[in-house]
Structure 1
Amino acid sequence: MAKTKAPLYFIALVPDDELENQIRKLKEEVKEKYNSEKALRLPAHITLQIPFKMDEKNEDVVIEALQEVAVKADALKLQLSGFGNFSGRVIYVNVSNPSPVLQLHKNIQEILASTIRMEDREKSSDIHPHITIATRDLSRKEFKNAWPEYKKRDFNASFMTENLTLFKHNGKTWDVLKEFALVD
């Protein structure tokens, strides 16, 4: 009998629909101008826990743990300002007030560590809060063309994070498995 492959999950903050649409337009622009489209596969988000594998039988335990984090957390007003990059291939919208996101990330890391077993490579002790608009499918050549434009470009927005979102990969795309309301 073949062993079933454990699905992938990740945890994120997702902006409101209006900001999601603004970010989507940026991602579509990057696709059209610079041939980078992988960022379009996901809604705009700020990652709190990178993708991790987990047996589906543990979903209820993780859902309960995330509910515990959410009821203790306040809704966050996040400011976005300008663009940044990683490794000469990723371009993102910068979160200019990352401290509350970093604290929420720490709380999630602590509860996950006490709830489920994760591979070392799945643990994300350090994060840099951001919203990706171009990912590693952006060629180095296209990055050199795109980055000067985004480096000097203005982008300012803010949004209230009202939920933590647990995503689950269905084999092709990421689906929202559960949202956890943050307290105002």
Structure 2
Amino acid sequence: MNTNYEISEELFDYLLVVNPDALVSKDVTRIRQFVAAELNDTGMSGAPVHVALFRSAFPERFQEDFVTMLEEVARKQAGFAIYTSKMDAFRHADGHNSVFINVANPKPLIELHRNILQAFELKPQTFKPHIMLARGLHDAEVNMVMPLLAQQIFVRSFNCHCFSLLKRPAAGGKYERVKDFVFGDIEHMVGSLFNYAA
């Protein structure tokens, strides 16, 4: 029996996301630019716009199994609409804060998140779907931007018919797209043209 195996494999950071359409992404980027200008920090405005669903780090050799399991989740999933609403802030345990856009109808995303966890036999977790505007902010920075953001309501909607798997080396770097997983029950999505097929 050969027991010569790699002790320290390179880990990759895998991220599952739902991407808003181009119009919503553009509007979110505009708000991020406003926040960046207020805080004099241009670094945050160029990050990808998405709703993060799930994140895990593991060696690349498990990627194929991961993809197969996600294909099964997507195949059973029906499309749905996502609505955004007000902007909010959250204080993390480390004392830093995040500023984000709330999802007004979180149930379909919470259900999708639960299905993903079940596929990997993981315990249910608390999940609050949102679109990140800025992270790692100090209290003073939040106090500067939240009075301006809290007065606005960001009412947008977009159809969700897939999720995407991204990856990057766990040591850091830019995420690259691995695969998009299109939902299997897209023809029953509310507002779909397929509803009117003969």
Bin for the TM-score computed over the shorter chain? 0.7 to 0.9
Q: Partner residue of 2:88?
A: 84
Higher CA-based Rg? 2
Shift of 1:57: 0.6
Give the alignment partner of residue 104 of structure 2, picking from 90, 96, 106: 96
Q: For residue 175 of structure 2, what is the aligned residue in structure 1?
A: 174
CA offsets per residue over residues 77-118 of structure 1, 9 Å max, x none?
A: 01101111111721111100000100000000011237xxxx
Aligned amino acid, residue 66 of structure 1: L
Query: Match of 2:195?
Result: none
1:162 paired with 2:170, answer: no
- After superposition, the C-alpha distances for 1:42-70 in whole angstroms (9 at most, x for unaligned) are 31111111x31111011111111111000
- Counterpart of 1:93 in structure 2: which amino acid? I
Contact 1:41 1:173 in 2 (8 A): no
Q: 1:168 offset after TM fit, Å?
A: 0.3
Question: Counterpart in 2 of 1:32?
Answer: 37
The Cα of 1:5 is off from its aligned counterpart by: 2.5
CA RMSD of aligned residues (A): 2.0
Q: How high is the TM-score relative to the length of structure 2?
A: 0.81
Amino acid in structure 2 at the alignment position of 1:111: A
Q: Equivalents in 1 of 2:43, 2:117: separation in Å?
A: 26
- Checking the alignment, whether the CA contact within 8 Å between 2:106 and 2:129 is kept in structure 1 is yes
Q: SS at 2:173's partner residue?
A: coil
Question: What is the SS of the residue equivalent to 1:24?
Answer: helix
C-alpha change, 1:70 and 1:166, in structure 2 (3 Å) is same
TM-score (norm 1): 0.86
Q: Which has the higher contact order (CA 8 A, sep 6+)?
A: 1
Q: State yes or no: 1:109 paired with 2:108.
A: no
* Cα pair distance change 1:39/1:2, threshold 3 Å: farther
